[in-house]
């Protein structure tokens, strides 16, 4: 019996050691990524500032033909896209700064959906938002950013055409937001890597949207889960702690 107990204790210690070692490696990887992101962001921001100035100057000198102006708009859009990429890298590399306070979730969801529908590449996307709502402690800007990444990811999975359904449910202690798309679905091998930085299945993807969304939701004390099967679409489930004392909200 003592031998079995010693073996059991050793096994528990080994598991704890492996978990600690995994956490330390994860922290080291995050630190290295943070250092790399800061260097890249500094260099790219300086270059992009010069490019944006040049685009504005030459754009003013170009003929006002539709073709020339289309070229100018395309260059400006590419610069803006790179600026968003830098902002995403910095969001993943720096400690998140936020102030959580009670807010209604539905308006935040609606603003994230509006930003999606205002993008021309997603003109074929319809977004159905249920009427339910809940009060949760959140940083509105951070939560809106997370939801925007989730919605854009769903829209891209459907190649810019299809329906996204959003629904809010809540219990006494938690709030659950589900985002369902009609895309091709995700296999188990992809789901295992889906929250890794820079992992993407799209040729022009960056692989930062889902890691950013997960980090922001984790920061709120919540969880982000993906349910999907090939050919059956994807359901994203965001679970957040709910404000129970409703009298605290004016």
Yes or no: say if 166 and 125 are a contact pair by the CB < 8 Å rule.
no
Q: Which residue stretches of the chain have pLDDT < 50?
A: 244-250
Which H helix or E strand runs over 129?
strand 124-129
Q: What's residue 32's pLDDT?
A: 67
DSSP at 120: G
Chain mean position to CA 31: 20
Question: How long is the chain?
Answer: 250
What pTM does this model have? 0.67
> What pLDDT is attached to residue 247?
41
Q: How far apart are CA 136 and CA 106, in angstroms?
A: 10
| Nearest by Cα to 114 from 147, 82, 154 | 147
Residue 248: the pLDDT is 40
Output the pLDDT for position 245. 42
Count of CB atoms situated within 10 Å of the CB of 164: 25
């Amino acid at each position: 019996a003592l031998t079995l107990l010693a073996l059991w204790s050793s096994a528990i210690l080994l598991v704890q050691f492996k978990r600690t070692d995994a956490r330390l490696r994860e922290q080291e990887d995050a630190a290295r990524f943070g250092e790399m992101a800061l260097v890249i962001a500094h260099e790219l921001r300086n270059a992009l500032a010069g490019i944006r100035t040049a685009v504005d100057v030459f754009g003013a000198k170009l003929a006002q033909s539709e073709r020339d102006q289309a070229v100018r708009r395309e260059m400006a859009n590419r610069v803006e896209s790179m600026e968003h990429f830098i902002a995403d890298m910095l969001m993943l590399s720096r400690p998140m700064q936020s102030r959580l306070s009670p807010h209604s979730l539905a308006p935040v969801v609606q603003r994230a959906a509006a930003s999606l529908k205002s993008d021309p590449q997603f003109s074929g996307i319809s977004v159905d938002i249920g009427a339910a709502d809940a009060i949760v402690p959140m940083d509105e800007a951070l939560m809106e950013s997370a939801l925007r990444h989730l919605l854009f990811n769903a829209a891209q999975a459907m190649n810019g055409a299809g329906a996204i359904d959003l629904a809010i449910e809540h219990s006494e202690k938690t709030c659950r937001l589900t985002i369902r798309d009609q895309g091709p679905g995700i296999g188990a091998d992809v789901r295992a890597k889906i929250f890794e930085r820079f992992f993407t299945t799209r040729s022009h993807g960056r692989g930062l949207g889902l890691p950013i969304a997960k980090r922001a939701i984790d920061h709120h004390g919540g969880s982000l889960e993906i349910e999907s099967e090939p050919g059956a679409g994807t359901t994203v489930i965001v679970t957040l702690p709910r404000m129970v004392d409703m009298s605290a909200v004016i």
